[in-house]
Copies of this chain bind each other. A is one copy, B any other.
């Protein structure tokens, strides 16, 4: 049993009790969605689906030391990110998120105030995306934190978008830019090593604000989902980019039984990502971060050629390639016109 010293402003979770803790963390939340019938405080959350609509459900578990490192992850950011990651999966189905359930298992290393911080992030993300927190529990963990978020959303029968559905000659598109979250992780890992060598050393994070935010506080691209809706575009297939572009492209090709060509020169890469790569090593190419770096949470989707005019001028959407026949591989074409077969070899980051 860990020995805990009394600290000012620190309340032991064991002193408060789990029921009181959940009350404190989630007590004053009001429902934003008509479909939310019963939230926290019973055995299940209860939702009503409107006639003929589809319910989407997705669960994500984040494990300390694997999916996040407490050394450089502020708890508020962690709470925000955990919800954002689950909502990203709802966005990836062309759906609208409505509810989340958040469960957290912690050792007594964490105080009630730490849980407050975590849930401040959870609430912020719920607020931002008009989502109701309707369930969850607090449990015990022997070592480190385990965070589980279940997201529930809605979609229409005729616009729900699966990974399957990409057809020959469809345009392959992605949102935002790629590889920047991994660049942020590289910076944080570098500063961690420096700090561990000399704890008096102040981390130097100036000028890396964009890539750091990309890693620490990703956003589910609901804005892209809404933008496509407003333009009358229903993607033929879609997924989010959580483990690098290569992994997501392979998922779409596998589910849609097709091949694919993406063009290296069309991959959207931010200048800060390129700068971080060149600082790190000669061998660290920005395109590798885009293909194999994880946690961008951008959307990868395919659209029919007939929708080209509707998307060609949208700033946040990049046409990066096209769908090829079943039996063809998923490849990247370089500016020198050589083709590289894509493999799922996501950089391991924290998740070995």
Q: Determine whether the beta carbon of B239 is less than 8 Å from that of A43.
A: yes
With a cutoff of 8 Å between Cβ atoms, the chain B residues found around residue A49 in the complex are 47-49, 53, 55
Q: Determine whether the beta carbon of B58 is less than 8 Å from that of A43.
A: yes
Asked whether A240 is an interface residue with its Cβ less than 8 Å from the other chain, the reply is yes
Contact of A57 among B19, B48, B99, B155 (CB under 8 A): B99
Q: Determine whether the beta carbon of B163 is less than 8 Å from that of A43.
A: yes
- A16 to nearest B CB, angstroms? 13
Q: Determine whether the beta carbon of B44 is less than 8 Å from that of A153.
A: yes
Asked whether A329 is an interface residue with its Cβ less than 8 Å from the other chain, the reply is no
Asked whether A208 is an interface residue with its Cβ less than 8 Å from the other chain, the reply is no
Q: Determine whether the beta carbon of A44 is less than 8 Å from that of B66.
A: no
Within A137-151, the residues touching B (CB, 8 Å) are 137, 139-144, 146, 148, 150-151
With a cutoff of 8 Å between Cβ atoms, the chain B residues found around residue A160 in the complex are 46
In the bound assembly, the distance between CA atoms of A150 and B155 in angstroms comes to 20
Asked whether A330 is an interface residue with its Cβ less than 8 Å from the other chain, the reply is no
User: How many subunits of this chain does the assembly comprise?
Assistant: 2
Q: Determine whether the beta carbon of B240 is less than 8 Å from that of A59.
A: no
Asked whether A255 is an interface residue with its Cβ less than 8 Å from the other chain, the reply is yes
Contact of A140 among B63, B101, B135 (CB under 8 A): B63
Which of A70-78, A87-95, A258-266, A308-316 faces chain B? A87-95
With a cutoff of 8 Å between Cβ atoms, the chain B residues found around residue A239 in the complex are 42-43
- A258 to nearest B CB, angstroms? 16
Query: Nearest 5 pairs between A and B by C-beta?
Result: A49-B49, A44-B56, A43-B92, A43-B89, A44-B58
